[in-house]
Amino acid sequence: MEILKTIITVNFTGMAALFSGVVIFIVGMIVYRRDPRRMSNIFFLLLCTSCALWGIAIGVLVLTIKSQLFLPIAVLVYFFSATIPITFLFFALTLSTERISLLKFQLILAIIPIILIEGAILMPGFIIQEVLSKPNVPIIIHFGKGFPFFMAYLIFYLLWSLAILIKRYQEGAGIFKAQLRHVLFVSVIAVTLALTTNLFLPLWGIFTVFAWGPIFVMVALLGIGYLIIKYNLWNLKLVATELFAFLIIITLIVEIVITTSLADFVTKVSITLLVAFSSIFLIRSVRNEVESKEEVEKLLKDLAYANDELQTLDKRKSEFLSIASHHLRDPLTAIKGYASMLLEGSFGGELSPAVKEAIQKILESSKRLVTIVEDFLNISQIEQGEMVYTLTSVDIKKLVHDVVEEMSPSVSRAGLDMELIADGISNEGSTIQGDAGKLRQVITNLIDNSIKYTPKGSVRVMLTHTERGGKTFVQLSVTDTGIGMDKSTQEKIFNKFSRAEGVSKLYTDGSGLGLYVAKEILKKHNGRIWAESQGLGSGSTFFIEFPVGNSSNSEIRES
Ligand code: ADP
pLDDT in tens, 392-440: 888 888 899 999 998 888 888 889 889 988 877 776 677 888 888 889 9
Distance (angstroms) between ligand 1 centre and the Cα of 340 equals: 27
Distance (angstroms) between ligand 1 centre and the Cα of 372 equals: 13
Choosing from 505, 515, 542 the residue with most ligand 1 atoms within 8 A of its CB, the one to mutate for a pocket test is: 515
Choosing from 456, 476, 490, 503 the residue with most ligand 1 atoms within 8 A of its CB, the one to mutate for a pocket test is: 503
Distance (angstroms) between ligand 1 centre and the Cα of 517 equals: 12
Question: Which ligand 1 atom minimizes the distance to the CA of 372?
Answer: 3
How high is the pLDDT of residue 83?
93
With a cut of 90, say whether residue 501 has pLDDT above it: no
Question: Which ligand 1 atom minimizes the distance to the CA of 375?
Answer: 3
Burial class (CB in 10 A: 0-12, 13-18, 19+), 532: middle
With a cut of 60, say whether residue 550 has pLDDT above it: no
What average pLDDT does range 468-485 have in this prediction? 88
Determine which helix (DSSP H) or strand (DSSP E) holds 427, and give its type and residue range.
Answer: none
The alpha helices in 344-389, defined as continuous H runs, are 353-383
Could you give the CA distance from residue 501 to residue 464 in angstroms, rounded to a whole number?
A: 32
- pTM, rounded to two decimals: 0.49
How high is the pLDDT of residue 232?
53
Confidence grade of residue 231 (pLDDT, cut at 50, 70, 90): low
What average pLDDT does range 279-308 have in this prediction? 83
Question: Which ligand 1 atom minimizes the distance to the CA of 512?
Answer: 8
Q: Using one digit for the tens of pLDDT, what is the confidence trace for 105-151?
A: 777 878 888 899 999 999 888 888 888 876 666 678 888 888 899 99
Could you give the CA distance from residue 520 to residue 526 in angstroms, rounded to a whole number?
A: 10
Confidence grade of residue 559 (pLDDT, cut at 50, 70, 90): very low
Confidence grade of residue 465 (pLDDT, cut at 50, 70, 90): confident
Write the residue with the smallest CA distance to atom 13 of ligand 1. 499
Confidence grade of residue 553 (pLDDT, cut at 50, 70, 90): very low
Instruction: Output the average pLDDT for the chain.
Output: 84
| 3-class state of residue 452 by DSSP | helix
Distance (angstroms) between ligand 1 centre and the Cα of 503 equals: 8
Cα angle 288, 294, 296 (rounded to 5 degrees) comes to 105
Strands 417-421 and 458-468, sheet pairing: parallel
Distance (angstroms) between ligand 1 centre and the Cα of 206 equals: 91
Q: Kindly report which listed range (24-33, 58-67, 263-272) carries the lowest average pLDDT score.
A: 58-67
Write the residue with the smallest CA distance to atom 16 of ligand 1. 500
With a cut of 70, say whether residue 174 has pLDDT above it: no
Q: Using one digit for the tens of pLDDT, what is the confidence trace for 389-403?
A: 888 888 888 899 999
With a cut of 70, say whether residue 217 has pLDDT above it: yes
Confidence grade of residue 532 (pLDDT, cut at 50, 70, 90): very high
With a cut of 60, say whether residue 474 has pLDDT above it: yes
As for ligand 1, residues whose beta carbon falls within 6 Å of it are: 445, 449-450, 453, 480, 482-483, 485, 493, 499-500, 503, 510-516, 540
What average pLDDT does range 495-520 have in this prediction? 82
How high is the pLDDT of residue 551?
44
Q: Kindly report which listed range (220-234, 277-291, 312-326, 537-551) carries the lowest average pLDDT score.
A: 220-234
Q: Using one digit for the tens of pLDDT, what is the confidence trace for 76-99?
A: 999 999 999 999 998 888 876 666
What average pLDDT does range 256-284 have in this prediction? 89
Confidence grade of residue 6 (pLDDT, cut at 50, 70, 90): low
Query: Taken in order 245, 247, 251, 256, is the CA torsion positive or negative?
Result: positive
With a cut of 80, say whether residue 236 has pLDDT above it: no
Distance (angstroms) between ligand 1 centre and the Cα of 311 equals: 27
